[in-house]
Structures are given as C-alpha cells and as structure tokens.
Amino acid sequence: MLRGSKIGLRARHDEDIPILRTELYDDVVIGSRAEAAPWRPVTPGSKDPRLVVDDTVQGHVPFSVVELDGGALVGTANLWGIDNHHRSAHIGLGLLPSARGKGYSTDVVAVLCHYGFVVRGLHRLQIETLADNTAMLRSAERNGFVREGVLRSSAWVLGEFLDEVLLGLLVQDWKPDPAA
C-alpha cells in the first residue's frame, strides 16, 4: 500500500465495488460530473470497467482509497492514460460523499504524484477537472500543479456545457511532502 499522511492507496478489493458503485456511480449528478461519458445505470454484478480491475491493462492503474486510521474505504483514485514513451499520465480521483471536506483529496494527489514520479519514473502528470470543482483545483494547486489552460465549454454535464481546467506538474517542479 502507498501511504500519505491521512490515506492509503491499495489494490481494489471485491468488497469495495458495491460501495463505490452505490456511493459514486449510481448517483446521476456525481456520476455525470466525474465521467466523460453520459451517465447510465449499471446492473449490479456486471463487469463495470470503472470498478472491476483488469490487471492486463498497462495504461491504467486503479487504486482504492482508504483511511489510514481504521482502514475504511473512502474513494477511488487512478493514474490513467499512462504514456511510457512521453513519460506522462493523468490523475483522477473520486471520494465518497462522507469523505469530502477532510483534506483527503490533497493527500490522494500527493500520493499519486509519488507513485507517478518515484515509482513509475514519469516526467509529467496532468489533471483535467470542471472549472467549478474548487476542491480538486485546490488539491492540485497545493501539490504544485499549475493551471495551464481552460477548455471553454468542453464538458456536457446535465444539460449544459461547462469549462474544464487543465493543470500540469513536471517532476522537476514537484516538491514531495516529507511527511508522506
């Protein structure tokens, strides 16, 4: 398990899937804001590719996020779009509603940076998020990510186009948290 100051990133367990499905992906608003594709209901027990891990996929590393104090599941995180030639990847995360506002997302981003830069030897990490997602913007910027641009009206979310913010971090600009 990879450890931050508040959370750990570990492999996805079978018992995580129903919780993540119910609390993150069955909710139309949360699901619509988190995914690039339109929300759709997914049958329980199906092989939902957002949740069921395929260890043969090389460009995507999914984690379950757990509290260090007690081990409770609090969300999901991943490095995706991993490009070994350009040594870059994208960061994504989703916290359960009950885990929001506790500083976990800043810690998750920090641990994903450690994984990407130290473990995987990447050169660049990138985050795309909705412009009104202040929690993700704050977490990214606290970890050194720089706003590189705005993709105007690029995301269709629940009947309206929203702007997305593109943030990037290069390994030479990363300042790891010594406590992590």
User: What is the pLDDT tens value at each position of the chain, 180 positions in all?
Assistant: 999 999 999 999 999 999 998 888 888 898 888 888 888 888 877 787 777 888 888 899 999 999 999 999 999 999 999 999 999 999 999 999 999 999 999 999 999 999 999 999 999 999 999 999 999 999 999 999 999 999 999 999 999 999 999 999 999 999 987 655
What pLDDT is attached to residue 91?
97
Query: How would you list the strands of the sheet with 146-157, edge to edge?
Result: 2-3, 7-10, 60-67, 73-83, 88-95, 124-130, 160-170, 146-157
What pLDDT is attached to residue 180?
54
Report residue 86 as tokens. 């350009």
> pTM for the whole thing?
0.93
What pLDDT is attached to residue 178?
66
Query: Does residue 106 contact residue 142 with C-beta atoms inside 8 Å?
Result: yes
What pLDDT is attached to residue 174?
97
Query: Does residue 124 contact residue 170 with C-beta atoms inside 8 Å?
Result: yes
Map out the domains of the chain as residue ranges.
2-173
Options 3.40.50.300, 3.40.630.30, 2.40.50.100, 3.40.640.10; CATH of 2-173: 3.40.630.30
Backbone angles phi, psi at 156, to 5 degrees: -85, 110
What pLDDT is attached to residue 76?
96
